[in-house]
Amino acid sequence: MKIFNTLTRRKEEFVPLKEGEVSIYVCGPTVYNLIHIGNARPMIVFDTLRRFMEYKGYKVNYVSNFTDVDDKIIKRAAEEGISAAEVAEKYIAECKKDMEGMNVRPATVHPRATQEIDGMIAMISALIEKGHAYVKNGTVYYRTRSFKDYGKLSHKNLDDLMGGLRELKVDGADEKEDSLDFVLWKPKKDGEPFWASPWSDGRPGWHIECSVMSRKYLGESIDIHAGGEDLIFPHHENEIAQSEAASGKEFARYWMHNAFLNIDNKKMSKSLGNFLLVRDIASKYDLQVLRFFMLSSHYRSPMNYSIDLMEAAKNGLERIVTAVTRLKRLEGVAEAKDAASEKEILTRLEELHTKYDEALEDDLNTADAISSIFEMVKLANTSVDENSSASLISQVKGMIVTCSDVLGIKAEKKEELLDADIEALIRERNDARKAKNFARADEIRNQLLEQGIILEDTRAGVTWKRK
């Protein structure tokens, strides 16, 4: 497989650090609100990368964090009159619901920044000891110029960056030795969450969090670090500086970044009134449509979200699902017979499968992979019918379903539950809740949600509706 490496600005053959295994770290969201469509793109793209790596036989350790201590979280806590921890817990739960709707699989580990403070203090202490960081009145700064390779990811020159870093704002910023130095630890302010450290009661800077979580769960050197292109500088640049200064080893071999996403050809922003949450989209479309839309363009190409493009994605997805539904029906009536005359169709199917694989092996080109699936659908619609053998029908259907599944696209429609079945499951859920078997109650809710059934607990009882 070839990957476009942001570090070298070229496609490179992927060679894992350890044969047969892949370590991937993806920067996750800061949990102060429901996730927006911009958050969704890296989630979907790199979930697909993981799925493809597993499909190719790799054992994948996939880590994606939740940033659960941040100025925005503290501000939201003050607005809602609850603690920062409660804000984070609330929006992590909501994020997981949206991820499930987009068929984004849970990471191997979803570390939270607040649970890794000890590791951050240890790394900061090591950086101070090595001369890469210094303390001023309880604040710890990273000495940026001490890392000779600073700028190698973003390809920026230090002398051109004066004052250009995005930092956590702190009082006494003029105490820094250099305006390019960034915060590793900051003292607490009144009402803020804090942790004890050798320098002050306070909390970590943003950048140190990912360095520590990546090292803990994946090791000092990893295969792939990924995220949105807005993170290249300064976040990922600062991660490299911290991690490599602390360990003396290469932090990540390959860096992958997805491009920006606009709304109706305009940059998404609250001021323009086009800030689009995944939950907003879920009220109008099955989130499988959003996933299909996201994968219809190459991840390094800028994307534009519009209703017309979403409708096109919906139609494209339905085309695949309809073809599989038809094949499933034919599968039920087909006879086992000699398929010798169908060899040409199977040869063509295998050619399309090769084309599909080649697309994904070429820097995860999901757009061309979807085109190959459409060609399989066309082959199915024109060459497979009630006179085809059971073997042919099964192979064509299996190929379309498998290739779709690697992309996280559900091509095989589940049988719709009857009203009576839904009511029976709701009764079972009520009984489970009375017995305090909340795990089973949640399992039933999720089972119904997968079938497009939304439950609402009211004082009068449980009501339900189909999506």
pLDDT tens figures, 395-417:
999 999 999 999 999 999 776 66
Q: What is the mean pLDDT of residues 50-69?
A: 97
The pLDDT tens digits of the residues spanning 357-367 come to 999 999 999 99
Name the CATH architecture for the domain at 307-406. Answer: Up-down Bundle (1.20)
Q: How far apart are CA 303 and CA 86, in angstroms?
A: 34
The pLDDT tens digits of the residues spanning 29-51 come to 999 999 999 999 999 999 999 99
Distances (CA, A) of 267 to 102, 258, 366: 23, 15, 24
Phi, psi angles (nearest 5°) of residue 322: -65, -40
What is this structure's pTM?
0.86
**Confidence at 451, pLDDT banded by 50, 70, 90:** confident
The pLDDT tens digits of the residues spanning 385-395 come to 989 999 999 99
pLDDT for 7: 98
Q: What is the mean pLDDT of residues 121-135?
A: 98
| Domain ranges within the chain, ordered by starting residue | 2-258, 307-406, 419-466
Q: How far apart are CA 412 and CA 405, in angstroms?
A: 9
**Confidence at 334, pLDDT banded by 50, 70, 90:** confident
pLDDT above 90 covers what percent of the chain? 77
The pLDDT tens digits of the residues spanning 321-331 come to 999 999 999 98
pLDDT at residue 162 greater than cutoff 60: no
Three-state SS at 30: strand
**Confidence at 336, pLDDT banded by 50, 70, 90:** low
pLDDT for 169: 41
Q: What is the mean pLDDT of residues 98-120?
A: 97
Parallel, antiparallel or unpaired: strands 266-267 and 261-263: antiparallel
pLDDT for 165: 44
pLDDT for 171: 42
Query: b vs e for 332-344, b when ≥16 Cβ sit within 10 Å of the residue's Cβ?
Result: eebeeeebeebee
The pLDDT tens digits of the residues spanning 183-204 come to 999 999 998 999 999 999 999 9
Closest CA to 101 of 457, 449, 466: 449
Give the chain's mean pLDDT.
92
pLDDT above 70 covers what percent of the chain? 94
Name the CATH architecture for the domain at 2-258. Answer: 3-Layer(aba) Sandwich (3.40)
pLDDT for 164: 45
Q: What is the mean pLDDT of residues 85-89?
A: 97
Tokens of 103: 């068929």
Distances (CA, A) of 128 to 184, 243, 246, 364: 10, 13, 10, 40
pLDDT at residue 167 greater than cutoff 50: no
**What proportions of the chain, in percent to the nearest 5, are helix, strand and coil?**
50, 15, 35
